[in-house]
Amino acid sequence: MGQMRRAIILIAATFAFASPCAAKIVKFEILKVESPAFEGRTFGAVGTYDRILARATIAVAPDDINNKIIVDLDRAPRNAQGQVEATTDVEILRPTVAVNGNRTLFYEVLNRGSKLGLALFNDIPAVTNDLVKATDAGNGFLMNHGYTVVWSGWQGDIVPGGGRMTFSPPVVSGVTGLAREDFVFDHTNNPATGTLSYPAADLDPANTKISVREREADPRATPAGLSVTFESPTKISIKRPEGFDAGAIYEFIYIAKDPKVMGLGFAAMRDVVSFLRHETADTSGTANPLTGRIDRAIGFGPSQSGRYLHDYLYLGFNADEAGRTVFDGLMPHISGGKKTFTNYRFGQPGRSPYEHADMLYPGADFPFTYPVITDSITGKTDGFLARCMAAGNCPKIIKTDSELEFYQQRASLVVTDTMGAPITMPDNVRLFLLSNLQHYALAQDKSQMAKACANPTNPLNAGPVVRALLVAMNEWISKGTLPPDSRYPSRADSTLVPPWANAVGFPNIPGVAYPSRIAQPTVLKSEDMPPSKGVAYPVFVPKTDADGRDIAGIHLPTLEAPAATHTGWNLRKAGFSEGELCDNNGTMIPFAATREERVKNNDPRLSMAERYPNAGDRASAIAKATQQLIHDRLVLQEDAGLFTANPN
């Protein structure tokens, strides 16, 4: 406790010298207004919506204490006032009639420039970036509830096109340094083409390093037949050697130049949301299109975007340059215990350390969790909440993870210390496991075979639960109504166990192997190139019952009356680094229809006929489970019919 208190006091002392000047949007250019949007579609009592496309220019003071943490900001070009400028795309959906809105700004952090969250909350059948047609609003959930929805670009390496939203940070010219790329092609084209994150300063292959390994844990190899050629400063061609399959990892180290100030993306989001919440106009007098409409703001981010929210909070960006709170609530979704490789020189925000790929990139290092704790390995004391606790601007947090995050994204370290002992969350944090879900699935998805995976995928969708939790978050920050209690596995009650089949209790299903490896973080020696691994942190996974169903967490109604074993994980198949975890994919293995069938197949799981001997048994159980979740405020009444309509 003494170390924790000293760390918070030290950070608080830093914040005491914050600049009184407000963060500024120096230009908010409205490019297009569609009123009404969605072909005039109306949304219940809220009515129609407007769609506003804009471009914002931010200007930040490099010497302001709120900005000094941004890597290379001090090297970036400055305007006449000594500030660093950057531009970002902005899109707004607002109720046409202002008084019909619920006065909450719902900001979705873009995922690689795209709007994944709208598909999740509004059950759109495909990720849609250009919101034009009436059907692009899906079930209309966010609009029916009156949210003002905002997106803006933050990732400085997004390639325009496909409706992706961009952010244009400044480039630091003349700076060079080593950069590293991992390529897993999952095809057998030879040669294979790779795109570099930064232009190469030296196009001589002799001054680069190329290696290959079949699995992440294997030693790097440079066999005969492996070579690299520069097609341009940002594109290489790799000649692939014999003896390695489609899933092999190719690592390329080269001298890069002209890094972008990627960390400025955090300030861009901060300043856009702060402007829309607090200002009436930009510095040139252009009116804020949300003036008088917003009382509170919630930030939501799935996957990469949730990891970005971890970084945003950890780096201290939840206050603008005037010290005003930006987000009242944050909802990181499927982000585990990871951050991002953004606020670094030669940062690559799209990287995410997984069991089979990107394992040695920054963004999965200590701290892994919200409370301030001490790392038993490095001796560091820190936590995601350290800076906001010091500044007094911590948001309410509702975090949701699928089962996949425990296998691929260090989720157990959210609720354990670095020795594996359980820790307690602060009162402003709620944690929820979406039991047995894979990383991401659309509402209309069906189980199918993925190209590189051994098992059929898992179609269970998180939408109904995250919708209910958004309503709970809005009531928490607007009315003080406490949300549901956390439902997350824990070492304290033995629902979080070592990642071994016998400890987990996973059934021995014929033809389905349990993972032999999961993503286990280590202390990285980043001064080495490539980085080398130090001591490993302990990681755990949810314990299951005899059907493979997680004991802890939120069970969707169809899991309370299951027809299959669902897992968050899947394995790579032969020809694609067999046996390694298969990226973000889960598994669905249906139960046998009859006892005779399961006995014939040596399947230990009860058959459908044994579980539900009478017509209507399963439907009745699903309906009962749905009503219990509605009572617990984990599913909305308006979603009650979804589970009988799609009983996966």
Q: Which tens digits make up the pLDDT trace of 477-492?
A: 999 999 999 999 999 9
Cβ neighbours of residue 606 closer than 8 Å, sequence gap 6 or more:
591, 598
Asked if 277 and 297 touch (Cβ cutoff 8 Å), the reply is yes
**Residue 360 domain flag:** yes
Give me the pLDDT at residue 527, please. Answer: 86
The pLDDT of 28-57, averaged and rounded, is 98
- With pLDDT > 70 as the criterion, what percentage of the chain qualifies? 96
Residue listed under structure tokens 């707004």? 92
CA 221 – CA 398 distance, rounded (Å): 44
Residue 3 has pLDDT above 50, yes or no: no
CA distances from 215 to 227, 250, 342 (A): 19, 10, 26
SS3 of 387, please? helix
Give me the pLDDT at residue 33, please. Answer: 98
Give me the pLDDT at residue 363, please. Answer: 84
Residue 16 has pLDDT above 50, yes or no: no
Query: Would you place residue 6 in the very low, low, confident or very high pLDDT band (cuts 50, 70, 90)?
Result: very low
**Residue 165 domain flag:** yes
Query: Would you place residue 435 in the very low, low, confident or very high pLDDT band (cuts 50, 70, 90)?
Result: very high
Q: Identify which of 18, 15, 17 has the alpha carbon closest to the alpha carbon of residue 387.
A: 15
Give me the pLDDT at residue 1, please. Answer: 40
Cβ neighbours of residue 645 closer than 8 Å, sequence gap 6 or more:
none
**253: domain range?**
176-257
Record the pTM: 0.95
Give me the pLDDT at residue 12, please. Answer: 37
- Asked if residue 202 and residue 114 are part of one domain, the reply reads no
Query: Would you place residue 642 in the very low, low, confident or very high pLDDT band (cuts 50, 70, 90)?
Result: very high
Residue 638 has pLDDT above 90, yes or no: yes
Interval 191-210: pLDDT, tens: 999 999 999 999 999 999 99
- Asked if residue 338 and residue 237 are part of one domain, the reply reads no
CA 256 – CA 275 distance, rounded (Å): 36
Give me the pLDDT at residue 15, please. Answer: 35
- With pLDDT > 90 as the criterion, what percentage of the chain qualifies? 94
Residue that finishes a domain, picked among 207, 224, 257:
257
Interval 172-194: pLDDT, tens: 999 999 999 999 999 999 999 99
- Asked if residue 320 and residue 364 are part of one domain, the reply reads yes
Give me the pLDDT at residue 648, please. Answer: 74
- Asked if residue 52 and residue 12 are part of one domain, the reply reads yes
Amino acid at 385: L
Interval 212-237: pLDDT, tens: 999 999 999 999 999 999 999 999 99
CA 339, chain centre distance (Å): 9
**Residue 6 domain flag:** yes
Q: Identify which of 373, 368, 376 has the alpha carbon closest to the alpha carbon of residue 399.
A: 368
Which token pair is 298? 């919630």
Residue that finishes a domain, picked among 201, 231, 257:
257
The pLDDT of 361-371, averaged and rounded, is 94
Residue 8 has pLDDT above 70, yes or no: no
**Residue 242 domain flag:** yes
Give me the pLDDT at residue 364, please. Answer: 84
- Asked if residue 220 and residue 91 are part of one domain, the reply reads no
Query: Would you place residue 254 in the very low, low, confident or very high pLDDT band (cuts 50, 70, 90)?
Result: very high
**Residue 584 domain flag:** no
Asked if 290 and 34 touch (Cβ cutoff 8 Å), the reply is no
- Asked if residue 61 and residue 187 are part of one domain, the reply reads no
- Asked if residue 148 and residue 22 are part of one domain, the reply reads yes
Which token pair is 5? 């208190």
Asked if 362 and 346 touch (Cβ cutoff 8 Å), the reply is no
Which token pair is 388? 């906001």
CA 81 – CA 94 distance, rounded (Å): 34
**Residue 454 domain flag:** no
Q: Identify which of 440, 434, 648 has the alpha carbon closest to the alpha carbon of residue 550.
A: 434
Residue that finishes a domain, picked among 368, 394, 420:
394
- Asked if residue 333 and residue 230 are part of one domain, the reply reads no
**Residue 320 domain flag:** yes
CA distances from 554 to 124, 311, 522, 629 (A): 23, 26, 30, 9
- Asked if residue 267 and residue 219 are part of one domain, the reply reads no
Give me the pLDDT at residue 647, please. Answer: 72
**Residue 462 domain flag:** no
The pLDDT of 422-445, averaged and rounded, is 98
12 versus 297: the higher-pLDDT residue is 297
Give me the pLDDT at residue 18, please. Answer: 34
- Asked if residue 36 and residue 122 are part of one domain, the reply reads yes
Q: How many domains does one find in the chain?
A: 2
